[in-house]
Amino acid sequence: MVDFTFAVGQPGRQIRNPYVAVWVEDQAGNLIQTISLWYQQGKGQKWLSDLRSWYSASNGRVPVTTGATRAPGSFSVAWNGAGADGKPVPAGNYVLFVEAAREHGPYEITSAPITIGPAGFTIPLTDKGELTKLSATLKV
């Protein structure tokens, strides 16, 4: 489970809902799994490259499961520890990323190393601009 809050940094302006990507890479920088991808469905796909790091890691391949953008608020996205093939990832060290981009607004990315093993974990991620209250939990 990855929890985060998207809090608008400059209230009073017209706010566009952010594009958000949450994903896991191995230590070599290879994409393991896109956990969640929020973007404007349909014509908005052409702006997915604004999620620069996710777009680079994924080569722009949109996963089957995606979602629409959401207004500011607190959210949880689930990851079951599986890779893109649906099988549990091997024990080892990985990096979890959360990235947000907003039209006429800021761009943020934060990440944290995670270790997959026989025990679960809960770790905080560093707040970054409009992305706050970030944490990741994996229960085994």
> Which helix or strand (DSSP H or E) is residue 52 part of?
helix 52-58
**Which DSSP string corresponds to 28-39?**
TS-EEEEEEEE-
Alpha-carbon distance values, 139 to 56, 58, 122 (Å): 29, 26, 9
Read off the DSSP letter of residue 13. S
Q: Which two three-digit tokens encode residue 121? A: 């974990």
* 62-100 tens-digit pLDDT: 876 677 888 888 999 998 889 989 999 999 999 999 999
What's the total number of domains in the chain?
Answer: 1
- What one-letter code names the amino acid at 140? V
For residue 132, give every residue at least 6 positions away whose Cβ sits within 8 Å of its Cβ, in sequence order, or none.
Answer: 4, 5, 6, 7
Average pLDDT over residues 10-19: 73
Mean pLDDT over 10-32 rounds to 85
Using CA atoms, how far residue 6 sits from 73, 95, 106, 123, in Å, is 5, 21, 12, 18
**Contact (Cβ atoms closer than 8 angstroms) between residue 112 and residue 91:** no
Kindly report the pTM of this predicted structure.
0.91
CB count within 10 Å of CB 134 equals: 21
The domain containing residue 57 runs over which residues? 2-138
The count of other CB atoms within 10 Å of the CB of residue 105 is 19
Q: What is the mean pLDDT of residues 104-123?
A: 90
